[in-house]
Amino acid sequence: MSDDHDQPPAARGDRLPRATPFDPGAFLAEDASAAAKPSHVRPKLPSGAPTSAAAPARTASTPPATSRSPIEQRLGDRDFKQIFSKGLADARQNLLTVALFSIVVNTLVLAIPIYLFQMSDRVLTSRSLDTLTMLTLIVVVAVAAHVVLDMLRRFILVRVAVDVESRLGAPVLAAAAKAAQTGGGREFQILADLQQIRSFLTGPVILTILDAPTAPIYLLAVFLIHPHLGYIVSTAALLLFGVAYVNQRVTAGPFSKASAYSTRANMQAEAMSRNAQVMNAMGMIPEGVLLWGRETAESLKAQVKAQDRNNIMTAISKFFRLGTQVAMLGWGAWLSLEGSLTGGMVVASSVVAGRALAPLEGTIEGWRSFIHARAAYARVQNLLQSSPLNLDRLRLPSPRGRLSVERVLFVPPPNKRVILNGVSFGLEPGESLAIVGASGSGKSTIAKMLVGSIMPTAGNVRLDLMDLRNWDPRQFGESVGYLPQDVQLFPGSIKANIARMREEANDIDIFEAAEIAGIHDMISHFAHGYETQIGMDGGPLSGGQKQRIGLARAFFGNPKLVVLDEPNSNLDVSGERALAVSFERAKARSITIVAVTQRPALLRSVDKIMMIRDGAVLALGPRDDILPLLSGQNGLEAAAPNPTPPAPAPAV
């Protein structure tokens, strides 16, 4: 009987628990080409696993016409415009229902002034208990219906708000992640805009706005009591409309300015969070707080200015409303003395007039909330409708790894400085290239361009003859591995990080990626192995360990192009040896590799070397032809950016 500890981790199953059961037959059907791999790189399947004949195999180059790609299954519908439009249409339909409820709710409120009118003019004069009882019962039923319908419309609004955030949350996050490649990460703050919209939909301002269409009903009721009183209310309504317009004009600028400064303050706080260790180590906290404080102070100053103006407009609107009440009572009393109205009519008209003007006054008071919600809605709409993920590109056959870079020019705004100038090179599937050069020569820019993070100003970057702009970004992402200079891991287990946080990832794929990167032995020394938890700052891993796990993540999923930016910057001698072995294993799998490096240890492991200086190719060729240039004094001077001559010796 064999010991479990003698079996490889991929075969045991206890070291690598799975979110979903592992099906070897499905695995072989997904990757029929695994049988063609050399024995030393082929994954070890559990004993008794079916062979490739157990399930109909399909080649990686011919995806089924009816199935969805794995990333589509994880993310869902790719058309963010359609998601936004459908969500907006459903929200409008529900808001229409709430608006209809609001009409009924506000109509039922008329029961109170009618009750006052009847009490004053009929019950008190007739002294009829039967009339009083019947009127009271009718009003109680009307009030109960009012309360129930008001409760229902609030329930609907809560569910509309939750539905909007649940529908748009994932698309907004995906679109923000895509846009953050060139936007500096500010797009992620649009997630807070969804919360702003939700708060608006569940707040009192939306109900006030929905109550506004019923104001003509109350106005008509006042006209029916007496035209003079209707004219008074109409004049007050026009005055409140004017106040609302002025309020919008005088507060829009300060509110916009406050929002801009607040965004910059939040970005400063996020930068402090990312660089907390550096700021603590070098005593930079006071300076960081000062920068944050300046932006926050400007934001608060603009908010105070906007709120002061809004409060002034609110006070003016309240004066008009209360003045209208006085005018209604005073003029109504005069009409009563003339015999045109009864006392009950005067009181009822005053109550109805207050209900007619309340939505206008409430809109002015809640104008700030409305402005913020409208701006948040515009940002969400712009992000989703302009996202490049909306483009429904043809799903091409899986790439083989042929890379072509053709006369690439990169001049980023706003300074218009040329970063790359006419860079061209090509690699066949399975070939590897090392890019060397001094700092600031454009090496990392090339790496980012190869994985689609930035696009060239002119020229083309092609994978299997197809420009990267024309690849479906989701399919392209599954075919590419990338290790940036600053390796960031996600909070979670080592296993999850290697698997690119995919819950449906097979253990055998995770183990294979770790084997290619040569980190299985390193992981086995951790107390919890692949289940070792990684913190927000990457702890308890060292810089080199994070880099090696990032390398395994780059190799996960059998990518055909892997781009490594300074992959050995934090590695010791043993780590560099493991990196060299990973290059050999990747070559056996026909994985094309582009590595940016400044350390010579990696150069012996690649097929080609490209020297770059000031954004232009200085030399490009087979490894054995370029190495002498790098080792010679002339080559080193050519690669260096204008070295500073040594200082002359002091005179004796």
Q: For the chain, which residues make up each domain, given as ranges? A: 4-64, 80-390, 403-639
Name the DSSP class of 22.
-
H-state helical runs in 226-284? 227-274, 276-281
Per CATH, the homologous superfamily of domain 80-390 is: ABC transporter type 1, transmembrane domain (1.20.1560.10)
Under 8 Å between Cβ of 402 and 465? yes
Residue 435 and residue 602 in contact, taking contact as beta carbons nearer than 8 Å: no
The residue whose two tokens read 């060729």 is 621
pLDDT for the residue 552:
93
Are β-strands 432-436 and 616-622 bridged in parallel, bridged antiparallel, or unpaired? Answer: unpaired
> What is the pTM assigned to this prediction?
0.62
Return the amino acid letter for 641: P
Nearest alpha-carbon partner for 167 in 83, 79, 92, 82 = 83
Strand duo 592-596 + 432-436: pairing: parallel
At 42, the amino acid letter reads R
3-state secondary structure of 421: strand
The CATH code of domain 403-639 reads 3.40.50.300
Q: How many CB atoms lie within 10 A of CB 134?
A: 12
Residue 420 three-state SS: strand
Helix (H) or strand (E) holding 312: helix 285-338
Residue 602, CA distances (Å) to 587, 599, 605, 609 in order: 15, 7, 6, 11
In sequence order, the β-bridge partners of residue 426 are 404
CA 525/CA 530 separation, integer angstroms: 10
Give the residue ranges of the chain where pLDDT is below 50.
1-67, 71, 74-75, 633-652
CA distances from 610 to 596, 632, 635 (A): 10, 16, 12
Distance CA 434, CA 444 (A): 12
Distance CA 354, CA 219 (A): 10
How many whole angstroms separate alpha carbon 551 and alpha carbon 533? 18
- DSSP annotation of 457 reads S
Residues 6+ apart with CB under 8 A from 141: none
- Which tokens go with 399? 């790439």
Q: Do 403-639 and 80-390 have the same topology in CATH?
A: no
**Strand-pair partners of 461:** 405
Name residue, tokens 């490889």. 8
Residue 590, phi then psi, degrees to nearest 5 = 60, 35
